[in-house]
Amino acid sequence: MDSFTRYTRSATLYVVFGFLFVASLGVIVWRICIDLFGIPEDIALTLTGGIIMLVLPFIADALVSFLATPFKTVWQSVIRLSPEHSNDVRPRFDRLLIGKDLAQNVANQIYRHTSPTRDKSGSHRQAISQAVNIVRHIPAPVFACNKQLLVTNASDSALAYCGAESSDVLGKPIFESLYLDFSTDDTLGKWLEECSKKHATHTGHWERVKVRNRLDTVDHRCDISAFYNRDNPGGTEYIVVLHDRTESYKRDDESLSFVSLAVHELRTPLTMLRGYVEVLQEEASPSLNPELQGYLQKMEVSSAQLTSFVHNILNVTKIDNNQLQLELHEASWGATLTGILEGLQVRAQVNGIELQLHVADNVPTVGIDQVSMEEVVVNLVDNAIKYSASVTSANKVIINSSVNSDGLVETTVQDFGVGIQANAMNNLFSRYYRNHRTKSRVGGTGLGLYLCKALVTAHGGQIWAKSHEGQGTTIGFTLQPYARLSAEQKSSNQNGIVRHANGWIKNHAYFRSQ
């Protein structure tokens, strides 16, 4: 016999017993009225019926409550599964006088079906708690953010790095805690925005980022790594890790400052040296034999390379200190390129390279700072010559200029030299970056392309690179037609359009403006 059948039979007996109890009570009251009080039978019957009607609801309520006790006990067991009632008193099945087996069986079935969910929920909460503790004790600045870029967790190192308390960081937008300055327009804020629109998972890395605390009293330098995971069940979609490099980058900056000072002192004697070389070429070259003329030509090339190096160092220092000011004027881009390449012909000939220039007829005038744009072209062509010289089949560098589909003047410098491997492309325009496969064969500072990017960006253009290892490299950049800039000049009181080559882009300002 199952527990439910036993319960229904027991309940039936209790109901029958209840009816018999009420009937017996009525008879006893009726007899007392007649025998003890001498009340007539008809009146005694009416009085007995009234008393029974008054007592019956109480008896029925007690009977129903008694019969419902097993179900009440099961209900108490069920609600104890919820977190808010987990500390309630545990129901006592052993005290049930009816339906004990039924109540225990029902409760056991409920527990059996809900225990996997409870275990999973408990394990999930435990895992989250462990993750929070792990992040807190990571010995590096780590920030975890949700979809809305609110900080959900941060390591103790992160709080110390930002000079903030947990109440100032947790639950707040990440850029209210992190004040970042980037050396290019590839910022963390831009990456975060791109992730939310285009990616399910993504990683990012940035080097030489400036980090300032909330009071602007501490200036750190770091590398940043970030990971994105869309709709993470745990609620954390972004992880941002800061790798402090303050001391090593500070030494680099101090070295650059020292080099800049030394290079600054080189400018005067270098100018004199180039002047003497030019005088010798003009006055003495016809009377020299071919071998001495070759030496003189190499002297000119070397002095020009040294001059380019000096300009690079000084301009990078100015860019990093936000001191490089450009003044844009209208210029014929074809004529400008022709003049620049004429000055590079000797350098190319010494290395056995032919420079080929192709300028489309529809290229309009551009707004440029003549000196800085000459530096861009010289750096790009000089790189093309250097990385082609060691390849026998690479005997030319092609410079093309045309108007692209956006109406911008696009110029490319193509060589057929050693090329660049794919994993080096992302760092190509970073300061001090040198390709480890070629830096032992080709000299350089790692500043040329960094400087080119800063100068092109200041002109309102973009720069990029395409390369295949062993086949050559193409680097291109865009400039705005002067017609697009003329409105800016009209609103200015100056003769030209003034721009600043700013080496640092404030990420928090960029992000808040979106």
Q: What are the counts of helices (DSSP H) followed by strands (DSSP E) for the chain?
A: 13, 15
Strand (E) or helix (H) holding 154: strand 151-154
The predicted structure's pLDDT at residue 230: 87
Angle between helices 370-389 and 448-458 (to 10 degrees): 150
- pLDDT attached to residue 509: 40
CB-CB contact of 506 with 183 (8 Å): no
Which pLDDT score is estimated for 283?
A: 78
Alpha-carbon distance of 464 to 475, in angstroms, equals 6
CA count, 13 A, side-chain hemisphere, 153: 21
What was the pLDDT predicted at 513?
33
Structural contact between residues 101 and 5, judged by C-beta atoms closer than 8 angstroms: no
> Which element (helix H / strand E) includes 483?
helix 482-490
| C-alpha to C-alpha distance for 384 and 147, rounded to whole angstroms | 45
In angstroms, rounded to a whole number, what is the distance separating the alpha carbons of residues 112 and 509? Answer: 55
Q: How far apart are CA 173 and CA 192, in angstroms?
A: 13
Residue 391 φ then ψ, to 5°: -110, 120
Compute the CA torsion angle 252, 254, 258, 259 (nearest 10 deg): 20
The structure tokens listed for 184 are 């290019």
How large is the greatest C-alpha to C-alpha distance in the chain, in angstroms?
164
The SS3 call for residue 514 is coil
Instruction: Please tell me the distance from the alpha carbon of residue 380 to that of residue 403, in angstroms, as a whole number.
Output: 20
Cα 35-37-41 angle, rounded to 5 deg = 65
**Average pLDDT per consecutive 10 residues, the chain (514 residues; last block may be shorter):** 77 85 84 82 82 84 83 76 59 75 74 55 56 78 90 88 82 85 79 87 87 69 90 84 86 68 70 78 79 81 75 71 76 93 86 92 92 89 85 84 94 91 80 58 69 87 90 93 74 55 47 36
User: In angstroms, rounded to a whole number, what is the distance separating the alpha carbons of residues 107 and 79?
Assistant: 11
**Dihedral of alpha carbons 187, 188, 190, 191, sign:** positive
3-state secondary structure string across 425-465: HHHCCCCCCCCCCCCCCCCCCCCHHHHHHHHHHHCCCCEEE
Please tell me the predicted confidence (pLDDT) of residue 511: 40
Task: Give the whole-angstrom CA distance, residue 294 versus residue 55.
Answer: 130
Beta strands across the sheet bearing 472-479? 354-359, 396-403, 409-414, 472-479, 463-468
DSSP-based three-state secondary structure for 411: strand
- Please give the pLDDT value at position 504: 45
pLDDT at 464: 93
Q: What is the per-residue burial (b if ≥16 Cβ within 10 Å, else e) of 267-287?
A: eeebeebbeebeeebeeeeee
- The confidence score (pLDDT) of residue 20 equals 86
Q: How far apart are CA 209 and CA 181, in angstroms?
A: 6
Q: What is the CA radius of gyration of the chain?
A: 43
What's the confidence (pLDDT) of residue 365? 94
Whether 78 contacts 90, CB under 8 Å? no
* Cα angle, residue 376 at apex, residues 372 and 381 outer, rounded to 5°: 145
- Written as one string, the DSSP assignment of 227-244 is EEETT-TTS--EEEEEEE
Which pair of tokens denotes residue 350?
């010494």
Q: What is the pLDDT of residue 449?
A: 87
Count of CB atoms situated within 10 Å of the CB of 80: 14
Residue with tokens 């090329």, as numbered in its chain: 419
How far, in Å, CA of 245 to CA of 220, rounded?
Answer: 8
Residue 281 contacts residue 299 (beta carbons within 8 Å): no
What pLDDT was estimated at residue 463? 94
Q: Are 425 and 463 in contact (CB under 8 A)?
A: no
Q: Which domains does the chain have, with CATH numbers?
A: 3-113 (no CATH), 138-244 (3.30.450.20), 324-504 (3.30.565.10)
Q: DSSP states of 339-400 as a string?
A: HHHHHHHHHHHHTT-EEEEEE-TT---EEE-HHHHHHHHHHHHHHHHHHHHT-TT--EEEEE
| Non-local CB neighbours of 423 within 8 Å, separated by 6+ positions | none
